[in-house]
Amino acid sequence: MKRCLFLAFAFLLLAPPAHGEPYPSRTVSVIVPYPAGGSVDVVARLIVAKLNERLGPNFVVENRAGGAGGAVGANVVAKAAPDGYTLMLTASIHIITPFLNNQIPYDAVHDFAPISLLAAGPLIVSTAPNVPAGNLREFFALVRKTPDKFTFATSSFGSAGHLAIELLKRDAKVDTLVIAYKGAGPMLNDLMGGQIQLIADPMASSLPLAASGKIKALAVTSAKRAAAAPEIPTVAESGMTGFEFSSWYGLWGPKGLPAEITAQLQAEVASALAEGDVKARLAALGFAPIGSSAEAFAQFIDAEAARYRQIIKDAGIKAE
C-alpha cells in the first residue's frame, strides 16, 4: 500500500501542470485584411503552411478585406480575445493608415501585440513603356521640362507605394499630381497603356511586367540592388543619394497576448523563415526573410511610424 502511495505521489510530481491544453489546441485564424491572391495573402499562406507543419494543422488564413488600409480585418483582431487564436498578418500600410484616416476604430500600435517582423523588400519604380527615359535621372529631367505631361500614381491611398512616390517627389523637387487607384491591377493597366507615368509597386506584381517589357523599370527603392533583379539600379544610384524605402510584412496578435504564446510563435516563424524553400519563395517575391523578436519588431514599428509621419507632413497629404 505504501509503495502504491509513493508511486502515485511521484507521478503527480513528474506530471506536467494542468494549466490547460498546449497551444494551439484548436483553430487559429490568421487574419489577412485583403482579398485572396495578393502578395500579403501569398506570404500569409506560406507562413501558415509552415506553422501547420510545426505545430499541427490548426492555422488557417482568413481573408477579411474591406476598409482603408485593411481596417475591417484589423478591427477583428483588435477586438479579439488575446488568447493566440486570432492573429493578423499584414503589411506596413497598417501603421500608415491611422495618419490618413481619422475614422479607424482602433489604435494601430497600442491595440496590437507585435510578434515578428517577417520580411521586407524594395519597391520597383516604373514608368510607361512609351516614356523616353532609360533611368530615373532622365525621367525627372523630362518631368521638370514638361511637368504637365506627367501623372504619378499609387495602388491605394496611404500604401507604401504612395509614400515612396511622395518621397521621390520631395527629393526630386517636383510637384506632380498623384492619383490613388483602388488596387494594383487597374494602376498597372493604366501604366502599360501610358495613361500614367510613374509608380512604385512591390516586385511581386511589377517585376514580371518589367521583364516582359510591358512597363519600364527605372529603379528599386532599396539601398542595394535586389537579388531578384540585379539589372535594375537603385534610386540612390540614380542620383538621390541616401534614398531607401521598403515594404514590409509583420505578424501581430491582439493587445495582451500572453508572453509565452508570443515567444512560441516568434520562434516557430523565425525557424520557418530560415528554411531554404521559404527563402527561395520570398526571394521570388522580392522579399528578404527577417523573423525578428517581438521587442525588435516593436522598436521597428516606432521608428517606421515616425518616418511615415514626417513623409506625410512634408508631402502635405491630408486625411481622407
- pLDDT tens profile 228-278: 899 999 999 998 888 999 999 999 999 999 999 999 999 999 999 999 999
> Which pLDDT value is given to residue 320?
65
**Residue 39 placed within a domain:** yes
User: What are the strands, taking DSSP E only, across 174-245?
Assistant: 178-180, 199-202, 216-220
Tell whether 157 and 223 lie within a shared domain: yes
Both 128 and 49 in one domain: the answer is: no
Shared domain for 163 and 176, answered yes or no, is: yes
**What was the pLDDT predicted at 126?**
98
Alpha carbon separation from 77 to 105, 248, 259 (Å, rounded) = 12, 19, 17
C-alpha cell belonging to residue 320: 481622407
Same domain, 211 and 261: no
Residues 116 and 180 in one domain: no
Position 20 scores a pLDDT of: 65
Q: What pLDDT shows up at residue 317?
A: 84
Residue 218 sits in which domain range? 122-238
Domain match, 229 and 296 both = no
Peptide bond into 24 cis (omega under 30): yes
Q: What percent of the chain has pLDDT over 90?
A: 73
Question: 282 and 144 share a domain?
Answer: no
Query: 5 lies in a domain?
Result: no
Q: Are residues 53 and 188 in the same domain?
A: no
Q: Give the end of a domain, one of 238, 265, 286.
A: 238
Residue 3 lies in a domain: no
Q: Does residue 114 sit within a domain?
A: yes
User: Do residues 177 and 70 share a domain?
Assistant: no
Are residues 256 and 117 both part of a single domain?
A: yes
Cα 89-90-96 angle, rounded to 5 deg? 145
Pairing verdict, β 86-91 and 199-202: unpaired
Q: What is the CATH number of the domain that holds 223?
A: 3.40.190.10
Last residue of a domain, one of 190, 220, 238: 238
What's at 208, amino acid-wise?
P
3-state secondary structure of 311: helix
CB proximity list for 228: less than 8 A, separation 6 or greater: 203, 207, 283, 284, 286
In this structure, the answer to whether residues 281 and 310 fall within a common structural domain is: yes
Quickly list DSSP for 183-198.
SHHHHHHHHHHTS--B
Is residue 262 assigned to a domain? yes
Is residue 18, in this structure, part of any structural domain at all?
no
pLDDT band at 219, cuts 50/70/90?
very high
Same domain (yes/no): 90, 233 = no
Q: What is the mean pLDDT of residues 15-37?
A: 80
Domain presence at residue 8: no
Chain segment 161-184, per-residue pLDDT in tens:
999 999 999 999 999 999 998 888
Can you give the pTM of this predicted structure?
Answer: 0.84
Residue 109 has phi, psi (to 5 degrees) of: -100, -55
- In the chain, the number of structural domains is 2
CATH code of residue 93: 3.40.190.150
Question: Does residue 14 sit within a domain?
Answer: no
Could you give the CA distance from residue 191 to residue 195 in angstroms, rounded to a whole number? 6
Q: At what angle do helices 276-284 and 39-55 cross, to 10 degrees?
A: 170
Q: Which of 238, 255, 272 is the last residue of a domain?
A: 238
